[in-house]
Structure formats: C-alpha cells, structure tokens
Structure 1
Amino acid sequence: MEKEKEQTLEWIEAQKIEISVDLFAAAKKHLHFLGAVDRNRWLYDGPALERAIYRYNAYWLPLLAKYTESSSICEGPLVPPLDCEWVWHCHRLNPVRYKTDCEQFYGRVLDNSGVVSSVNGNSKSKTETLWKRLYPTEPYDLDLDKAISEPEDVSSLEKCTNYDLVSAVKRQCPFYYQVSRAHVDNDVFLQEAVARYKAFLYLIKRNRESSVKLFCVPTYDIDLIWHTHQLHALSYGNDLTKMIGKVLEHDDTDSDRSKGKKLDTGFSGTTAQWEETFGRRYWKAGAMNRGNTPKPVITSPYVWSVKKSTGKEEEFQSVLQYQEVKAIEVILGIVGIKNLPDAHKGKVFVVFSKTQPDSLFNAERRLTILSESCGEKQVALFQCEPKGELSFQLMSSSKSKSLGFTSLSLPEFLFPVTKLSVEKWLELTPTRRGKTDDPNPISLRVAVSFTPPTRSPTVLQLVQARPSLKDSCFFPMMGKARLAKSFTRVVDETETEVISLQIRNSNDAAPKADRRQVIGVKECGETYVLAEYDGSFWSLLDSKWSLKQTSDPTKDGPMFELSGTRMVTFYLGRKLEYEPKHNAMLKSEKDFMTAVEFSKQHPYGKAAGLLDLKFGSIEAKENWLVLPGVVSAFILSDLLKNKGFTATTNKAFITEESNEIGVLSQVKLEAETMMNVDLTSPVEVATEKINGGARCFSKELNATGDCGNMVEEEAGHFGCGGCGGCGGQCGGGGRCGGGRCGGMTKMGGGSCTGGSTGCGNCGGGCQVGSCGHMINNNARENAEALNDVVAA
C-alpha cells in the first residue's frame, strides 16, 4: 500500500507541470486542421507540395515576420493559406530545427500568436488584401495549374531553410489516420491525453535530473498532445526550457524499430518506467496504432453529382426495424493479486465474461495474472456494448475450482463518460457459502481501459430459403431472369427477421420482359416496392437512389455506383479500412465488395460498408446506408453469384471488428495463419513472440513501417521518440500499434490492435515501437511486451 501511495503522489506531482497553452482546446483545432489537409491530399506529395514549400519560404515566413514585428500592418488575425500552413505545421514539428531556422533568418522564433488557422471559418479577406499588396504576382490561394507547370527552386531564395521539408511532410502524412477515429475528439479522452502528456514530460524531467538516459516513446494520445504543444513554438520552447533547461527535440527521422534498436528499447523502457513510477498501465484503448494507412482507391478527388435532398428520406426508414448498437473498445489486464493462500500461488488464472452478454461479446475467456504468471502474459482487447458488468472469477488450475468472483460496472464510467481508464483492487466474494467476513479477502487488481461509446456497424445477413435465380436480371446482356419463387430473408445478428426480399416481374399493366422489381415483405404482411429495373439501371426507394454498373469497370476501379443524396461506389475486394493487413489471405478477395462513400468531407473515399458475397451479409457503418445497402447487396449478390460467385448463407457473418485476446509468450507463431479464420466466438487467443519491433501479423514479425519522431538523448539531449504517429506509417508499431490486431487472432481482415496495446514497438504515437501483440504487464517485462503491443 505504501508503494501505491507513492505512485499516486508521483502522478499528482506530474500534473503540476506548467504548460502555457490550453492543450485541450488546441488539440481540437489541431484535429480539425489535419482533417482539412487530408481532404486536400495534393499537399502530401508532388509538384504541388514543392510549390507549397517555395511559397512557405518565399512568402509566408517573411509575411509572418513582418506581422510579428508590427501587427499594425494587418488589422485582425493573420490567416495563412492552407498550403503554407501545412508546410509550417510540419516544420514546427521539429522544434529545435524550426527555432534554429527562425533565429538564423529572422532573429527570433516566429510564433503563431495572432495567427488563426485557415480552416477555422474566420475571415481571411484582410490577410488576402495584405498578401496581394506585398506579393502582387503571387495568388493568395495556391494555383494548382501553376504549381504543376512552374515548379520553383527554393535554393534561389535568400532566406530558406535547408531542412528537408518534403521528407518532413511525408513523415507526417500518416498521422491523421491514427488519430481520426470519432472517440479521439471526445472531451474526456482528450483531457486524459493532456494528463498523460504531462506525466510523459515528468518522466523526461526526472530522468534528466537523475542523469538517466532513456529514449522516451509516446502512445498516440500522448503524441497528439505533444504535436499540439510543439505547434505553439514560443510556448513550447519556454515551457520545456523552464522544465528541463532546453527545448525538447522531436526528431521524426528515425524509423528503425527492429529488436534492440533505439525505438524498440526506448518504448520498453518508457513502459517499464511509467508503470513503476505511476502504478498505471501505459497502454490505452483507442490510443494504439491502427496499422498502416490504407491504400487509397483513387489518387485525385472524386467528381460526382448528387441529388438534392427532397426531405422525404425518412419515408423508408421504418421499413427496416433493427436495433442500433453502441460499442466500446476494451483493453483488460489482471495485473496483481493479494491475500492468495500459499497453496494456490502460481496455480491460478482468471475467467472473465460479461454479466449481460451482448451482440459483440458473449463469451467466457481465460487470462493469466501478470504478477503470478511465469509463462504467457495476457492482456485482452475486445469490443462490447457499454452495458452490464465485467465479471471475474478466480480459478485454481490445480483443483479446477473457483476461489471467488467479483465484477466491475461499465455504465458507472460511461453514462456519462467520466473516466476511460480504471485500475483498482476488487475483493472477491467466496464462491462457497460459509465465512464471508474474512478480514483479508483475496483481491484482484484489475486494469481496464475503454473508449467512449460509438455506433457499432449494423450487420445484416441475407438468407435464402430456396435456391435463387439461375439467371441474373440486372442487365439485358446477362440474360432474362426467371421469376423467383422464394424469398430471401434479411436477419440481424440475433437471427431475427427484419424483412424478406424477392425479385419479381413488374406490376405494370403491360410489363416489359426486362422490367423487374425488388419487393420487401415484413412479417406483418406489409409489402414495399424497394427497387425497379427499367432495362438499364435499378431505381431504389422511390427513385431516391439509383444503382448501375460503372461505364468502364477496371480491375482496380469501381464496379457499380449507388447514387442519390450521396455517392457510393462498390469496389471488388476489401478496401480502405477493410483492407487486409497481413500477407496471407485465407478469404478470397472476390468474396467481398467495399462500399465507398465520396463526399465533400471524403473526396478520396471513406469505407461506408462491406458486402460479403460468400456469406450473404452486409455491414453498414452509417444508418443512411442500411436500407439502400441491403437492397443493393441483394441485387448485386444475385448478379455476381450468377456470374460465378457462390453464396453460402447458412453461416454466421463475422465482421472485421471481431473481438480478440492477445497473448504474449516466448513462442513465435507464423502470424498469417492466425488471420482470416472464421471465429466461433467474439474473443480469441493468439500467442506470438515478444519481439520489439514486431509488425503485428507480419511473417517476419519485425517492424517495417515508416515511423519516426524521436528525441536524441546524447550529449544532454533528451529524446523522446517519435513514432507511429509522428511520421511513422505505423505509429505504434508496424502494422499493429493500434489496429485491431495486435498479438491477437484474426481480426476480421486484419484490423490491427492487439499488441501490447499501448504501443507495440510502435504502438502509439510518435515512435512507439514497432507493433505489438498483447501486453506483458510487469513493469520491465510489460514494457518489453508492450514493445510488441497493439491496441486499437
């Protein structure tokens, strides 16, 4: 208990670190800006980026210098063009180099005081007027045509950094993917991230005072706040100089996460020191590496035209009645036990489950106790609904009997969301009746981390009662269809029927041979015409949507388009977030189609749903896609099946978001064999070598992502590793880090997350190690395991 009090006091002391920026508010603006840049990916590479770098050096920095010298040159805040702001952003993320460049060319650090982001909706007219007066031949907004046809040579400028900004930009491009999930913008998540960042700095401060050389490596939540702090160059410099006597480096150029290298040992050391100092787990749900940024389906913004909303979209919403499910991601570890009788020491394990099994988690699974186990070290990562309690039962492996049970309520922390990490001692209630007033009951120390509740994808399955059509009715050239005599039932994950579908001849007075309809029949007998085929395309939901083949489908291009008030295209295979993140694919890609939404917010496409043609299922990430998605899946599955696809619909569909347990052991497995195997329960166990730098479900198990952001620790330099977030493709670890994979089993397609959750060798944000497999939780041991950790 004395040790726990000391660790609590250390945490309180860490929170006293003074930071002169409201990092919570600034992080929200930071996320908004990164999203805007990601919608303009021409800023990531090529001639447009080169032009942006030229404009940054030739126009923006000189203008900023004039403004910071005398703000009277422009009334109101200064607003940089988006391209210049992005290059400026990446330059500041090397704070030592940015400070040096500014002082060399302008005699002082050029700060963002009085500067407002171009994406915050503020008027930029005054800045644009000033720009035109100072630079009459250069447009304020980047002219892309000129950028491509007239690249400039920055070496011709008198004041120009020789820092490789092209490489700096490329290292930062993957960062947004790692921090773009809905829960990251949650107030409690960000508030906890700020607190963890202060604790991160506190470790660095302590190490410097004690002459301890440790290369510190953050998780992605910490990394986001660290980046945010650096964007306020003067405040960051002053705060860190006051704290440790110098500006803390953030060099994101080192990406070698292999075993024994700086990133690998740094993350292990950071994890061990964090848990020893604060008595808290370093891993955090929702802060681990998601894996490599998915490959884009297009490389230039999609041009589309959508129908204006008629305000009648609600008319068909009542057709499908299904339960909307909320989900949380959970990382769970049993980190200690006390008052255990000597006869049972080293011979116990814990079985955990939920008191209210749900559609995402309905299993019992076994976990070792980290302080007791001398073999496999386990941490579970899974998804569940935010209701009920997590139940724990202590079992004796020698006598196969229960020694007691306890539980932890989820709603207590999530309604409303008050805290997202819990680590506490839970007393066990004896299983057998008898003496219950033991003054020293057996207790388990349980560590749980979870994300705020978010909408879980809706998964519906198409089950055919009888053989379907032999011929397709989609297009004339595919042959005329024969009228189907049977219905296809649409059922939810509880096998409850929500509607039945059938393709039939049109009910027109004089129907044409190639006119067909999709009708839906509910159990109460209500019948709806959900789609009609006129010989060239399908009109869905009273012409609110249309489904047709693309004019020129190619191997890598879309095969079908679903257009209405939104534009959705269907690509063969698993794309974007559904992309398999491993080498061996046991499920054929031809069995899947990805629905990709294109919009102003997602000009390069966002995965909106997944069709599993083999198992006859559709997963819809948003409510608006459920009904048109089901109708489209029904039509497409019939069409494609009759072109050579086979459908087996008597098997439950497992989504990419399956639950898992990751186990750390000294046994190396060929990780690919763990992937894409149909799961029979929501949680699975996998074992993999604790290998700092592991690439989460990669055969070699060594990190290969491009991660970066570190800090030098030699010669008085402190280093804090850059990582995944900071430039690394992997962030927290090769492919793992935060994907849904980690050291766990099939994650539906390889989402990655398991590693030591927290950070695999990369696991987290800036250089968090390579990637990992689940967590090993004994300070040093845990740290090494966390090197291989993954979390979502």
Structure 2
Amino acid sequence: MEKEQEIEWAKAQNIAVTVDLLEAAKKQLEFLAVVDRNRYLYESPALEWAIYRYNAFWLPLLAKHSENAVSEDLLVVPIDCEWIWHCHRLNPVRYKSDCEERFGRILGNHNIISSVQGKSKSKTEELWNKMYPEESYELDCNRSFPGDSLQRNVQSEKFISYDLVSAVKRQVPFSFQVARPHMSNDLFLQEAVARYRGFLHLIRTNRKNNVKRFCVPTYDVDLIWHTHQLNPISYCNDLLKLMGKVLEHDDTDSDRTKGKKLDTGFSDTTKQWEDTFGLRYWKAGAMYRGATPTPVTQIPIPFTYEARKLHAPDICNNFIQFPEIKAVEVLLEFVEIKNLPEAHKGNIHVSFSKKKPDKLFSAKRTLSILSESGEKQVAYFQCEPTGEFFFELECQLPSNIPLSKSFKPFGSCSLSLQECMASGSQLTVNKWIPVVPLPGILASKPILLHVSLSFTLPTSAVQVFHLLRPQPFFISSCYFPLPKIGKTKHAKSRTCITDDDGNDVLNLQMRESSKDMTRSTPELLKEVHYITDSGETHTLAKFQGNEWLIKGTHGSFKLHNASGNDGHLFELVGHKMVKLFSGRRLDFEPKHCKKQSSEHDFMTAVEFSALYPYGRATALIDFKNGIFKVKDEWMILTGITLAFILSDILKRKGGFTAKVGSKENILNQVIQVTTSPSNAENVIEVKVEEASGDIGIQGNSQSGGCGSGCGSGSGCGNMVQSGGCGSGCGSGCGNMVQSGGCGSGFGNMSGGCGSGCGSGCGNMVQSGGGCGSGCGGGCKGFGGYGGGCGHMVKSGGCGGSGCGGNNLSHNDDVGACDLPKVEASIVNEPVAA
C-alpha cells in the first residue's frame, strides 16, 4: 500500500457509523436462519397475510410506541411482521418516504427486540391482544387465509404501495449466500465492517467528483450494508452527514451476464477499490456461491421424536475412529513484480503449489501477474490450514520452442500459511516476498513478488471415499464359516478401505447364510462385518425383517424403505433422521455438466432436524463412479456401511432407476435373489480418499467440460443391461449380463471393452461388444488369469477400442462434474452481491 493509498484507507476508517455493526450483523444472521426454518413466509398465501398484518397491525403499533412508549418493556415483534419489516427497510429511501407519508416520521427500532432474541413475548402479546382482539399475535401458518376479505381490507386501508412481495423474493437468495459458518465469526465481521467503510468512501469520492458509477459490494460488505439499513434512523442520519443524501440500495438487478450492469459495475468497483486503497477487493468467503439449491421438500419435516438412547454395544467409536479434516477457502492473486530483468518483462508467470501436498490440495497451477499481463486472474481453492505455499516463477522461451517446453524456471519463493493464520492475524495478506533467482540469472536489485492471499477460518472439510469394483474371485477363495448362525450359503470376499497412502483403514465383509435349511424357503441372514487386524470381527449392520440395523460411531440407525410424497427412497432413523433421495440434491446439486450423467446414478442423504426442517445434505453416493462424499463426522462410518449395502442392492437389482417412486420393498426383494449363483462372485472393494478440493482460476472464461468414460479408474464391473466403461477402466469390466460391453462413453448402451481395461472384460454372457484393444491382463473370466478373451458366451469377440477418460477444467464445486478430485477449473462469472 502506497502512502496516498494509506491516507485514503485511513479516511475511510474514520467514517462515523452510529451502530454496533458487528453485533447487529450477528443478530441479522441469526434472524435470517430462523426465517429460513419458517419458509411459509417466502410464499403465498402466508406471505400476503404477513404483509397485511405488517401494514394493519405492526406499523401502527410501532408508530404509537415510538411516539409515546406503550409499554415499559421492550416490544417483541412477531416473526412474520419482522420479516416483512426487514425487507421493507432494505429499501431505505422507500422506507423513509413510506413512513413519512403515513406517520409523519421514520419509524426506527429503538426499544424493539427481534422475535429471535426476545425471551418473553407475554407483555407484547398482551398489548397486541388488547389493541387487536380479533387478530392473534402469532401468525397461524395453518389457518385458512381469506383471499377475498384480505383484498377488501387492503383496499379499504391506507397501506403502503411498495411491492413487498417482490422485496421478499429478492432477499431469499441473499439469505443463502450469507448462510455460511465463517460469516458470523468476529474476525471476519471486523474486516467486513472495515471494508464497508471503504465501500462508503468510494461512493462519497464518486459523488464529490461527479462520477456516475454503479458500485457493487461483495457479500461481506453487503451483509454489513444491510445491517446498517436495518437501523433506519441511524442509517439516514449517518448517510446524510456523510454524503448529504440517503444512499439507495438497489437490489433489483440480478442478471450476472458478462457485460451487463451488475458485471460491469463489479469490475469497475474492483478497479476503483484496488487503485484507491492498494488492497484486493475479491475476498475468500465473500464471493457469489451459485444459485440457491432446489429444496427437497416444500413441507418442513422436523425431528419430532425422542432420539434413540445410545447403548455402549451400539457405538463403534471404541475401535473405529476417523480423523477430522479441516479446510480453508483461499483466494490467491499475484499483483505485481519489481526489479525484474528487462529481458524477462511481459513474458513471465507464476506456478503455485504446496511444498507438501495435503489431502485437499495437491495441484500445481499457474497464474499470470497482473502488472505483467494486464489480466486479472484469481485462483480459488480449498486446502488444509497447514504448510507452505511454493511459488515458482517461469519465463517464456522463444515461440519456436515446442509448447510443452515453452516455459523454464526463473526463481522461487514461499509463504507459510500457518504464519498467515497465526493468532491475532487478519484473514487477508498483502505481502512483498523476495524471489530467489536460479543460478545464472542476474538482477541489479532484489526481485520482489507482490502476493495477495485471503482465506476463511478453518471448517470441517467434505471427505471423499472411493468405492472400487475389482474383478470377482472364485467362491471357494473367499468362503468362510459363519459360527453359530447356521449353514453358510455363500459369502463375499473382504472389502479393504485404504487411505491415500495405501494404508488400510477398514476391512469389511458382507456375510450371507441360511438360518433354517429345513424350511422350504429358508430365512436368509445378511450381515456386514468389520474385521480387525488381529482377525476379530464386529458386526456393523444386520438385516432383520425388512430393514437393516446399522451401527455408527454415535449410535445405531435403522435403514428401511419409506418412499414418500417428497420422493425419498429410504429412511435412516436413529439419533438423527436422514432421508435418502435419488439424484444430487441441495449442496451437492450440480452447477456444471448437468447433461453428462444421469441423476439416477446418485443418491443424497439429507438430514432433517429442528434446525433443518427442510433438510440439509450430509452425504452423497455416486454409484456410477463409486464415490461417497460426506460432510459430518457422525455420518462417516454409517455412510460407508450404507454405501456398501446400497451398492450391493444396486448391483443385484440393476440400478435404482426403475424403483424411484415405487412402493415395492426393495430391501426385502433383494434378499430373495441373493441365492442366485450368478451373484455369488460379485465383490465390492472400497478405497477411502480424502477430498482434494477444487481450484478455480477466475478471470478467464475458457472451460473444458466433462469427458467420457468411467474415469475413476476402478472398472465398471457387475453391470446388468448396462453400457460400460470408457478407456482407462482400471480394474476391468467384469461380470456383465446382457450388456453392451465395456466401451466408450458414460455407461448405458455402449459397446466393447474400451482400450486400456486394466484387468479384462471377463465373464460376459450374451454380450454384444466384446473386449477392446489393449485389455491389460487379458479378457479372462476372472481378472488377469492369462490372455485372450476367455470365458465369454455368445459374445461378439474382441475388437474395437474405447474412448478417452474424464477431462475436466470447469468446476467450482466438489462433485459438480461427477468427479471427487478436481485439479483445476477456469471460470468467469459475476462474483458480487
């Protein structure tokens, strides 16, 4: 920051605001969260009735109280009226004029307390009932709202004409954008308040210089701006004193298309901010996070029954523990370089990585330097809050050099993330770092690189587990007795769960046996077992009646069929309530590449509780690529077991597609087909892999999209009337029945085992495709046992070749393109409020 820029920043921080914005912002966030648990206030007819109550009852009561206190106690505003009042105040110019026209003055919030903070509403309710005996204090959302009489009342009263329905609709997306854990952190809010003052300073400067500019805030700034407006008297007085007028808040424009008002306004604001203050405007945790996800239900489903008591035998944390992984969001920009030798100016960029790759970030990517290229590029990614960033300068060689060798190293430097996040530090770092040039590179002065880095405080990371499907084994090779539960019909081989380094984390087995062989239709037992290193077994899940009992690290769950009107397929009930929906839902909803994969390949686990009556996504199962993503520690072991069981159901039934909305008992029917010899050889192996967060480089618009093929490197085994794998199917495409073979494309109705199928395309019956070229260990019936296309019946033989694997460069959300690991993506979209 230059001297003049320091002076401008100091002027901004001296702007007087007569509200404790930090504490008021926390209260606003709490209120928005409560309203989001009462979404009937978003829609008709409750919304119209709330607007009527606000006009007919709350505003007159507020006006009377503000003129001459009607109660010695603080007034507690009803939540429906508070929501409408909230939205009305966020158009401060209109709110001021409406109040002055109807009541002769601005109605403030002095001696008024939110419905969220109000401990006792009895005094206010008593006063309300006295003034309005025919209208209850609380809005009954289940009442029959009289549309005709409501219209007559509105027409007969002197109500404001401002379109409050539209005002409410505009605030719903804002609530989603700021509903993030770090938003309520004191350090984050302190910086947001400082940035809000800087934002006001820019507008004041523009007014003084007669510059017409549509200034667009980031979401941290907008949160504080809203907070200021929600105190209307203070806001009006502060802004009149600051710039001689009440500053309007225009939230009517939501078109983020490049070149439109919002996009150009944000670009202009960014440039003015950075020129004025020498600070970066883009900030981690404060940018646009995409459209509001589609809800899974319109009807709130709270966790209404008592949680199941946890007994020691039901809890598995005495022998199974999973480490918690923390993540921070990072925005990185290379702003300027000084003392660069003349010969290298204009042809240099910076690659960045971590000196020691972590479980979330293992990429090496490049960014331009703003002062050299004139192009603003900002990298967005997630990583663990530890270690050092390594920056390597690379200079461009003459154009006649092949592209792969067109850059060579020039020098390097590093930055400790741990030091940046040390206690008492800010969440933004702007630092000149000395560059150490390589031997032979001469510079008259020390070379300095201006690095700008912003980050959020650590939160729990989404963990990603990979389910791999290798070739099946002979039954005899994995047969073992089941003690004390009758004669074993057949059993599955061990499933190994490993971490990124190949270390075993967990071993599972699916055991099946017949309890009473004397019956004409013997009862079949199914259990999922955890096997310790010493060979001991512990039961994680057991099929009883028509449901699974699943143990976790915090308690037991029951998994059973419970298809309902909201479209969920299963319920997982225990100390929490979880419903499983087909497709990617809520936070896992795809933002890109929607057409490349079927939503029937996914299932989302959604938790319902008093805090999340409309549901909160807690895990995602991707059956096609064999991926399990989980947000919450309590769901990890339960989720692994669940994914294991549902994958077993999927392979036996040929997919969930035909069962969506069906009333059939899928769990019970699957048990009836397990005695089929053709299913005896199916094996599922699970590999655990932590999320390797995405990187988005914002500033360019080139993107790749999703390539074809299975791509996860795990094979496409166990397909029934299916399509198959693209090239690179790591472990083969075994055990396909009436299949198109293992071939190019995304799965359904394709032909041939594509080139590069690692362990073969074995055990195909009446298959049309056959094995493609390059099947690694041969196309034998049981993976890797010799060459040729063995063990095929009525097959089309070997021939053809597959197509390329997944190629991804456009993705700003974990799972957006069906892949758990994303090394990089390039996006360019409006990122402001």
Assess same fold via TM > 0.5: yes
SS at match of 2:145: helix
Change (3 A) 1:251 1:657: farther
Q: Which residue pairs with 1:623 in the alignment?
A: 633
**Cα shift at 1:320:** 2.7
The partner residue of 1:129 within 114, 126, 131 is 126
Q: Which residue pairs with 2:559 in the alignment?
A: 548
**Cα shift at 1:431:** 3.0
Equivalent-residue separation in structure 2 for 1:229 and 1:742 (angstroms): 40
Verify: 1:662 aligned to 2:667, yes or no: no
**Cα shift at 1:345:** 1.0
SS at match of 1:634: helix
Equivalent-residue separation in structure 2 for 1:746 and 1:63 (angstroms): 47
Aligned counterparts, 1:137-216, within 5 A: 137-149=134-146, 152-153=150-151, 155-216=154-215
Q: Which residue pairs with 2:39 in the alignment?
A: 41
Q: Structure 1: where are the runs of 5+ without partners?
A: 471-479, 681-740, 766-792
Alpha-carbon displacement from aligned partner over 1:502-536 (angstroms, at most 9, x marks no partner)? 12146979996222211111224332111111121
Aligned counterparts, 1:262-661, within 5 A: 262-302=261-301, 304-312=303-311, 315-373=315-373, 377-398=376-397, 400-416=407-423, 418-432=425-439, 440-463=445-468, 467=472, 483-505=490-512, 513-541=523-551, 544-552=555-563, 557-582=567-592, 584-645=594-655, 658-661=693-696
Q: Which residue pairs with 1:103 in the alignment?
A: 100
Equivalent-residue separation in structure 1 for 2:354 and 2:824 (angstroms): 20
**Cα shift at 1:434:** 10
Q: Tell me the amino acid that sits aligned with residue 830 of structure 2.
A: C
**Cα shift at 1:645:** 4.0
Alpha-carbon displacement from aligned partner over 1:264-317 (angstroms, at most 9, x marks no partner)? 322221111111101111111111111110000000111555452525478312
Q: Is the 8 A contact 2:427 2:456 kept in 1?
A: yes
Equivalent-residue separation in structure 1 for 2:650 and 2:611 (angstroms): 31
Q: Which residue pairs with 2:678 in the alignment?
A: none
Change (3 A) 1:36 1:630: same
Equivalent-residue separation in structure 1 for 2:126 and 2:613 (angstroms): 30
Q: Which residue pairs with 1:763 in the alignment?
A: 831
Aligned counterparts, 1:674-693, within 5 A: none
Q: Is the 8 A contact 2:465 2:627 kept in 1?
A: yes
SS at match of 1:539: strand
SS at match of 1:633: helix
Alpha-carbon displacement from aligned partner over 1:369-396 (angstroms, at most 9, x marks no partner)? 121126x653211111110111111122
**Cα shift at 1:467:** 3.0
SS at match of 1:380: strand
Q: Is the 8 A contact 1:500 1:520 kept in 2?
A: yes
Equivalent-residue separation in structure 2 for 1:648 and 1:586 (angstroms): 27
**Cα shift at 1:675:** 11
Alpha-carbon displacement from aligned partner over 1:23-78 (angstroms, at most 9, x marks no partner)? 0000000000000000000000111011100000000011111111112x212111
**Cα shift at 1:652:** 7.7
The partner residue of 2:115 within 118, 121, 141 is 118
Q: Is the 8 A contact 1:197 1:225 kept in 2?
A: yes
What percent identity do the matched residue pairs reach? 49
Equivalent-residue separation in structure 2 for 1:342 and 1:359 (angstroms): 40
Q: Structure 2: where are the runs of 5+ without partners?
A: 398-405, 476-486, 657-681, 714-807
Q: Which residue pairs with 2:660 in the alignment?
A: none
Verify: 1:749 aligned to 2:784, yes or no: no
- Which structure is higher in RCO with an 8 Å CA cutoff and minimum separation 6? 1
Q: Which residue pairs with 2:56 in the alignment?
A: 58
Change (3 A) 1:344 1:679: farther
Equivalent-residue separation in structure 2 for 1:461 and 1:469 (angstroms): 24
Q: Tell me the amino acid that sits aligned with residue 748 of structure 1.
A: G
Q: Tell me the amino acid that sits aligned with residue 412 of structure 1.
A: E
Aligned counterparts, 1:75-86, within 5 A: 75-86=72-83
Alpha-carbon displacement from aligned partner over 1:554-582 (angstroms, at most 9, x marks no partner)? 7x611111000110011111001111113
Change (3 A) 1:483 1:117: farther
Change (3 A) 1:601 1:284: same
Change (3 A) 1:630 1:256: closer
Q: Is the 8 A contact 1:331 1:379 kept in 2?
A: yes
Q: TM-score of the superposition, structure 2-length normalised?
A: 0.77
How many pairs are equivalent? 685
Equivalent-residue separation in structure 2 for 1:434 and 1:198 (angstroms): 45
The partner residue of 2:91 within 76, 90, 94 is 94
| RMSD across aligned positions (CA) | 3.3
Change (3 A) 1:329 1:295: same
**Cα shift at 1:263:** 2.2
Q: Is the 8 A contact 1:24 1:190 kept in 2?
A: yes
Alpha-carbon displacement from aligned partner over 1:191-212 (angstroms, at most 9, x marks no partner)? 1111111000000001111111
Q: Which residue pairs with 1:219 in the alignment?
A: 218
**Cα shift at 1:349:** 1.5
Q: TM-score of the superposition, structure 1-length normalised?
A: 0.80
Change (3 A) 1:743 1:161: farther
Change (3 A) 1:384 1:544: closer
